[in-house]
């Protein structure tokens, strides 16, 4: 799988354009990416007008305590959904993307390295999807951030 280096900024710029046109606010919850998605969004044009912020919940305890992830695995659909919903609420964001997974080199919660769950909250609706990425942990972080930005672009395009 090719790693989409250097186009995260272009995707973040597109999120900015779409969010501003739609009058929508955006937030993120990040685990394995450790704030990488929010760095890209914060550097986008006029981010202060639409970007509400991020919650970096690297620790499982933070996911459970702050982001209302139910007891159990944090690399799961339930966790991704809970993270997205709680983040939208905490940040007062119209749209929130959440990522939780195992970047590697080891797996987590019975999941293989490279397993990532994405949660997407958009104005009251929540969805989740799972992806499997290959590569070293840095590659998995890059691919995860790229896919999260693509999810935001597609969500904002859809209205």
Checking DSSP bridges between strand 26-30 and strand 95-101, what pairing results, if any?
Answer: parallel
Say if CB 100 and CB 117 are below 8 A apart.
Answer: yes
21 φ, ψ to 5°? -60, -35
What is the model's pTM? 0.95
Total number of domains constituting the chain: 1
For residues 114-142, give the mean pLDDT.
97
User: Is there a domain that residue 148 lies in?
Assistant: yes
Is the per-residue pLDDT at 44 higher than 80? yes
Q: For residue 72, what are its two tokens? A: 């159990």
User: Is there a domain that residue 118 lies in?
Assistant: yes
How many residues appear in the chain?
A: 159
User: Is there a domain that residue 122 lies in?
Assistant: yes
């Amino acid at each position: 799988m090719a790693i989409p280096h250097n186009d995260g900024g272009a995707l973040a710029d597109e999120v900015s354009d779409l969010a501003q046109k739609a009058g929508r606010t955006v937030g993120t919850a990040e685990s394995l990416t450790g704030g990488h998605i929010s760095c890209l969004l914060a550097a986008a044009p006029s981010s202060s007008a639409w970007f509400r912020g991020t919650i970096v919940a690297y620790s499982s305890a933070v996911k459970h305590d702050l982001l209302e992830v139910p007891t159990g695995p944090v690399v799961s659909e339930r966790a991704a959904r809970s993270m997205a919903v709680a983040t939208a609420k905490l940040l007062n964001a119209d749209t929130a993307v959440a990522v939780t997974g195992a970047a590697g080199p080891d797996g987590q919660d019975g999941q293989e390295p490279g397993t990532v769950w994405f949660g997407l909250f958009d104005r009251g609706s929540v969805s989740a999807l799972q992806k499997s990425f290959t590569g070293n942990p840095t590659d998995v972080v890059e691919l995860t951030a790229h896919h999260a930005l693509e999810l935001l672009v597609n969500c904002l395009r859809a209205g």
